Amino acid sequence: METIIQRLGEEALCKMDIAHLVAFLMPLKLRQMEKLGGYTQWEQLSDTEKTVADTAIIRDVGQHVFDALSEKEHNQLTQFIRTGCCMHKDLNTVKGGNRALRDTWAAEDKTEPMLLANKDNAAVLEMCTDPLNPTPAERRAAETSKRGGSHITTLGGMICCNKDKKKGQQNTCNWYMHHHVGHSVPYPDVSNTQYGSHGEAAGVLVVHRDRFLRFMEHIRDVKEKPGFMNIEKNFYLGLQDTPTLTELCTLAAYNVCISRAFMKYVQQHENILDLRDFFTKKINLLDAVMANPKVWTGNNVKHEMAVLGRGEWDKWECRVMKTIQDYATTLPDLDRAIAVFVRGCKLTFTERSSNEFAGDIDCLTDIEWKDHFFASTNDRNEGGLGTWCSAQRLRPAETIHKFNLSFTASQNNTEEFMQCKLNTDEDDQYLRKTAQYLDKSGLQKKAKEDQIKADTEKAAANRQKETQQQQHRENQGAVIAETANHLVLSDDGIDKLTVMDLNKQLDFHREEERKYVKTGGELTKQVPLKTHMGKKLERVAALKKAVSQYLSRGGTTLTNVSPISNQHATEMMAGPGDEFYISDHEDNLT
């Protein structure tokens, strides 16, 4: 709102002629100086403080302008409408489908895709002697390891789309495919944020699966000491795993029939307000595929029924769909996987991605609907960021301020303007003087200092917060230890407890269950969080269930409970974990 007020004030002042502007601002400025203590006090202010004072005058003018506007004009200025980038909508939709598919394998007691453990986790899992009773380290290794079609596409990118010979086989793969296929088969760049790259990679792997298997055997045998690296072994075995291949076919089919058509259409329609009907068509097609996955896997698949927008397939898309249809006879769970994947996509799209039209957009009048423009993609911002990254590779020493000035000048045709309007010696002298002032201003140095200052303040605040949390954990541990000496295990006793005592008893059982699960135990239901329980009756019922499970595990009133351990405290206050340092472009589908 402050920005709107300031903009109105600036526009109002710019419309005045010089004489009117001076006559209008002079009394305001004199009144402001009097409040500050006079002209002498004004001169003692810093440039920043003077700027703040001048901005206050501009906002006062803007407030008067705003107050004079009609209610309709108020609504137009203050209305905030949020829309999202359609490319991100498709990305998040595919992620939602992938999550739904991943959860369904275990929920329906079907064979999951094979585990694709990294080198460290694989070493731990290979030492496992009792899979039914794994150690905490073995359980963690299994839980943190990934699986499925989306991870196979990632591994393929690490191997087949990496120019570093020590890390990948990009050139070797290109030469091998060109020799055996007759043309190059470029692997999609899944290692960077490229929309649809995992779906494209799934299509490449589905169509050329046999060639990639032979290629992996080739690089295995061509080494001085023949054998697979762990990542190569995972990729090779994953391509032969039936559930993993099922997920690859599902990803490839969705990419060909939905993602490609969706991204192509939104690129051709820059205003997201024009996409309401198109979004509805997408939802209707997802419903149709959920009801009958044979729309994509049947023998007589027609693009009029299978493709979003009913567009015809190109030669590559036809080849992908034909290969998926051939695999359908050997993949018993393919139709079910497609139905589940599409259902997850629809839920994500309707609940998170296409809800703009259910809000302020529906309140727009027909005239406002035609006048408003909301970009359907975030291409300008993404492109600007990409330009900055490219410029840094070419000119590493260039500051962000220098880049912004150069980029703005090129976008605004500043060079042409200077040749036409600023072609005198006085203009040239003024420009040089201004440039020298900017060079001496130390903007980049100030930006670095501001960043260090902000980081230092944030670190201090986090340390203080961590200290408070540690103190809270110690206090909570002491309360739990005290509660252990006064356990209430009878229904009559539980009914007599106050809400405060109920919470203490629940905290004790929640901590006991955490320890039990950590040592390898399994629970059908755990004590819910206090924020997930409402009135006293819910807490009483939850405590009775917790006591019942506690007694069934052999619990007694004589329980030795120590305050929360330092190890547990460390786990509770842990941040995002080591994954933060592994990759800063974790935009894959897992």
Angle at 409 between CA 424 and CA 16, to 5 degrees: 70
pLDDT in tens, 291-333: 999 999 998 888 899 999 988 999 999 999 999 999 999 999 9
Q: What is the pLDDT of residue 192?
A: 75
Q: Which of 244, 239, 255 is nearest to 159 (CA)?
A: 239
Instruction: Specify the higher pLDDT residue, 362 or 322.
Output: 322
**Cα gap 200→248, rounded to integer Å:** 10
Average confidence score pLDDT of the chain: 86
532 secondary structure, DSSP code: G
**Cα gap 480→553, rounded to integer Å:** 19
Confidence of residue 193 (pLDDT cuts 50, 70, 90): low
- pLDDT of 588 > 50? The answer is no
- Residue 60 tokens read as 């006062």
- pLDDT of 43 > 70? The answer is yes
What are the C-alpha distances in Å from 310 to residues 300, 314, 447?
15, 13, 52
Confidence of residue 160 (pLDDT cuts 50, 70, 90): very high
Contacts of 171-180 with CB under 8 Å at 24 or more apart are 172/219, 173/215, 176/215, 176/218, 177/208, 177/211, 177/215, 180/211, 180/214
Q: Which of 263, 282, 265, 283 is nearest to 274 (CA)?
A: 265
Sign of the CA dihedral 99, 104, 109, 111? negative
Q: Which of 550, 561, 542 is nearest to 502 (CA)?
A: 542
- Residue 400 tokens read as 């962000």
Arithmetic mean of pLDDT, 92-99: 93
In the chain, the percentage of residues whose pLDDT exceeds 90 is 39
**Cα gap 211→370, rounded to integer Å:** 52
User: To the nearest 5 percent, what fractions of the chain are helix, strand and coil?
Assistant: 70, 0, 30
Q: 158 near 237, Cβ under 8 Å? A: no
- pLDDT of 359 > 70? The answer is no
The 3 state secondary structure assigned to 9-67 is: HHHHHHCCCHHHHHHHHHHHHHHHHHHHCCHHHHHCCCHHHHHHHHHHHHHHHHHHHHH
- pLDDT of 575 > 50? The answer is no
Distance, first Cα to last Cα, the chain: 40
Give the start-to-end residue ranges of the domains of the chain: 2-78, 112-272+304-334, 379-441, 475-572
Q: 78 near 1, Cβ under 8 Å? A: yes
Q: What is the pLDDT of residue 579?
A: 34
Instruction: Please state the separation of Cα 253 from the chain's center in Å.
Output: 24
Residue 183: count other Cβ atoms within 10 Å of its Cβ: 7
Q: What is the pLDDT of residue 563?
A: 44
Token look-up 């840094």 returns 392
Q: What is the pLDDT of residue 587?
A: 40
Query: Who's near 507: CB < 8 A, 6+ residues apart?
Result: 476, 479, 480, 483
Contacts of 538-542 with CB under 8 Å at 24 or more apart are 539/499, 539/502, 539/503, 539/506, 540/494, 540/495, 540/497, 540/502, 542/506
Q: What is the pLDDT of residue 198?
A: 94
Q: Exposed, middle or buried by CB within 10 Å (0-12, 13-18, 19+), for 25?
A: middle
In the chain, the percentage of residues whose pLDDT exceeds 70 is 92
Token look-up 């731990």 returns 124
Q: Amino acid identity, residue 263?
A: M
Exposure on the CB side of residue 451, measured as CA atoms within 13 A: 6
User: Helix, strand, or coil here: 95?
Assistant: helix
What are the C-alpha distances in Å from 208 to residues 10, 235, 331?
62, 14, 17
Which range (262-276, 332-346, 545-559) has the least confidence? Answer: 545-559
**Highest mean pLDDT: which range of 119-133, 281-295, 373-387, 501-515:** 281-295
Q: What is the pLDDT of residue 581?
A: 30
